[in-house]
C-alpha cells in the first residue's frame, strides 16, 4: 500500500479538502497522510471564516510525515499565504517526491477569491516548476498561468503545457463541489502505483465518472429553511422586521439565515422582509380609505413620519403621492 501525502485545508462539510482526499485515497487502495494548511468554518451554504495555520506548524507536519513515512507522491491543495507556500516549496525541493500533483484552490464554490495576487504570483514562479501535474478549473487557469492559452475545458481532453512547460489538465467548470479535488487525489493514487501519466489520468477520469453518476451536490436544509422563512415573514411582517426575530423563530443564527437567503434569492433577509411589508402597505394605500396615520399604526410604525420615510425608501414615493397615482 503506497503512502500519499496531502497538503491542503480542512473542509468541515467533508465535501472537499483533506477529508475528501483521505476518503478518495483510501477508497482506491492508498494510504493517506496529511498536513493541514488552513481550517475553514463552513457548511453547505459556503465558507464563513478561515484560520490559516502558522507556517511553522505546517512545516512541522510535513517534516514529521516525510522523515518517518517517506511518501513518494504528494498532492497539494489550499495554500493561502506566502509563508505557507515557502515552507511547502522548501520541503518539496529538499525531499524531492517522485510525483507532485497540485490542485489550486483559487476560488470558493460561491466565487469568492481564496488567494491574493501575491500568493498566485509566487506559486506561479516557485511551486509550478516543481509539479508533475497541475489540475485546474477553467476559471482558475488564466489566474494561475497568467495566460489564456489553455483552451481545454473538458475532463476528457488531452494534457496541455503552458509557456512555462508545466503540464496541466483543465477540468469541466460544471464539476460539483469536491470532484476536482477527488480527481486530483485519484490521479495521485494511480501515479503512486507506477502508472504512466496518461494511464493515471484515464483511470482517474473513470473514477470521477462513477462519482458523478451517484453524487449530487451537498445539500443541507437550505431550501426548507428559506421556505420556512418566507412563511414566517408572511405571518409576522406587520409587527416584526428584525432579522434576529426570524432567525430565532427558525432556530438558526442571523448569519446563517442571511447566507441561505442570499444563496437562493440573491437578497438579504432584511430586504425580503421590507419588500413584503412595502407591498402590503401599497395595497392598503390603494384599496382602503384608512388614513396614512391609521395604516402606520396598524402596521406597527411608531409614527406617521417613520412610516412615510420607510415607504418612500422602498417605493420611491411618499405615501400621499403613491395614493394619488
46 and 145 fall within a common domain: yes
| pLDDT average, residue stretch 243-267 | 89
How high does pLDDT run on average in the chain? 83
Are 91 and 144 part of one and the same domain? yes
Q: b vs e for 7-21, b when ≥16 Cβ sit within 10 Å of the residue's Cβ?
A: bbbbbebebbbbbbb
Tell whether 182 and 238 lie within a shared domain. no
What pLDDT, on the 0 to 100 scale, is given for residue 47?
77
Q: Which DSSP category does 107 fall into?
A: B
* Segments forming the whole domain that contains residue 33: 3-216
Verify that 56 and 32 share a domain, yes or no.
yes
Give CA angle at 279 (275, 285), nearest 5°.
140
* The model's pTM: 0.65
Residues 157 and 297 in one domain: no
- Of 151, 186, 216, the residue that ends a domain is 216
Q: What number of other Cβ atoms are within 10 A of residue 55's Cβ?
A: 18
Lowest mean pLDDT of 29-38, 213-222, 314-323, name the range. 213-222
Could you tell me if 146 and 204 lie in one domain?
Answer: yes
Residue 147 pLDDT grade (very low, low, confident, very high; cuts 50, 70, 90): low
20-42 residue pLDDT tens = 899 889 888 889 999 999 998 88
For position 230, which CATH number holds? 1.10.10.60
Cβ neighbours, 10 Å, residue 325: 6
Name residue, grid cell 478518495.
24
pLDDT digit string, tens, across residues 91-107: 999 999 999 999 988 87
Task: Indicate if 9 and 110 belong to the same structural domain.
Answer: yes
Number of domains in the chain: 2
For residue 287, what pLDDT is reported? 81
- What's the pLDDT score for residue 206? 79
Long-range contacts of the stretch 20-26 (C-beta < 8 A, 24+): 20/178, 20/181, 20/182, 20/185, 21/75, 21/77, 21/181, 21/185, 24/181, 24/182, 24/185, 24/186, 24/189, 25/185, 25/188, 25/189
Same domain, 115 and 132: yes
Q: Is the dihedral of CA 216, 250, 236, 312 positive or negative?
A: negative
Indicate whether 168 and 288 sit together in one domain: no
* Sign of the CA dihedral running 42, 46, 48, 54: positive
Helix (H, G, I), strand (E, B) or coil at 53: coil
What CATH number corresponds to the domain at position 24? 3.40.1190.20
Q: Which of 216, 251, 278 is the last residue before a domain boundary?
A: 216
**Do residue 268 and residue 208 come from a single domain?**
no
Residue that terminates a domain, selected from 163, 191, 216: 216
Looking at the chain, the whole-number percentage of residues with pLDDT higher than 90 is: 41
40 forms bridges with which residues in the sheet?
Answer: 50
The conformational region for residue 300 under phi > 0 = left, psi -120 to 50 = alpha, else beta, is left
Could you tell me if 209 and 226 lie in one domain?
no
The answer to whether residues 240 and 287 belong to one domain is: yes
pLDDT tier for residue 62 given thresholds of 50, 70 and 90: very high
pLDDT on residue 158: 38
pLDDT of residue 263: 79
Question: Which residue do the cell numbers 517522485 mark?
Answer: 98
How many CA atoms does the CB half-sphere of 215 hold within 13 Å? 15
Average pLDDT over residues 152-179: 51
Amino acid at each position: 500500500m503506497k503512502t500519499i501525502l496531502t497538503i491542503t485545508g480542512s473542509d468541515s462539510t467533508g465535501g472537499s479538502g483533506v477529508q475528501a482526499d483521505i476518503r478518495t485515497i483510501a477508497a482506491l487502495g492508498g494510504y493517506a497522510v496529511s498536513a493541514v494548511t488552513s481550517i475553514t468554518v463552513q457548511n453547505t451554504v459556503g465558507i464563513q471564516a478561515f484560520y490559516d495555520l502558522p507556517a511553522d506548524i505546517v512545516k512541522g507536519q510535513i517534516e514529521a510525515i516525510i522523515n518517518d513515512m517517506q511518501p513518494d507522491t504528494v498532492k497539494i491543495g489550499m495554500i493561502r499565504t506566502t509563508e505557507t507556500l515557502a515552507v511547502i516549496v522548501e520541503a518539496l525541493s529538499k525531499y524531492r517526491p517522485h510525483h507532485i500533483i497540485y490542485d489550486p484552490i483559487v476560488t470558493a464554490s460561491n466565487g469568492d477569491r481564496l488567494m491574493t495576487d501575491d500568493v498566485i504570483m509566487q506559486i506561479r514562479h516557485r511551486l509550478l516548476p516543481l509539479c508533475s501535474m497541475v489540475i485546474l478549473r477553467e476559471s482558475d487557469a488564466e489566474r494561475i498561468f497568467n495566460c489564456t492559452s489553455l483552451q481545454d475545458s473538458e475532463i476528457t481532453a488531452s494534457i496541455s503545457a503552458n509557456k512555462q512547460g508545466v503540464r496541466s489538465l483543465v477540468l469541466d467548470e460544471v464539476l460539483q463541489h469536491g470532484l476536482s479535488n477527488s480527481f486530483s487525489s485519484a490521479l495521485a493514487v494511480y501515479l503512486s502505483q507506477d502508472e504512466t501519466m496518461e494511464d493515471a489520468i484515464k483511470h482517474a477520469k473513470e473514477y470521477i465518472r462513477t462519482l458523478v453518476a451517484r453524487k449530487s451536490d451537498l445539500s443541507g436544509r437550505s431550501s426548507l429553511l428559506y421556505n420556512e422563512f418566507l412563511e414566517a415573514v408572511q405571518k409576522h411582517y406587520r409587527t416584526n422586521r428584525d432579522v434576529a426575530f426570524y432567525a430565532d423563530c427558525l432556530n438558526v443564527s442571523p448569519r446563517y439565515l442571511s447566507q441561505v437567503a442570499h444563496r437562493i434569492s440573491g437578497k438579504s433577509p432584511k430586504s425580503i422582509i421590507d419588500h413584503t411589508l412595502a407591498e402590503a402597505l401599497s395595497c392598503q394605500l390603494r384599496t382602503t380609505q384608512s388614513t396614512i396615520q391609521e395604516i402606520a399604526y396598524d402596521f406597527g410604525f411608531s409614527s406617521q413620519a417613520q412610516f412615510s420615510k420607510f415607504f418612500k425608501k422602498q417605493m420611491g414615493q411618499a405615501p400621499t403621492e403613491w395614493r394619488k397615482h
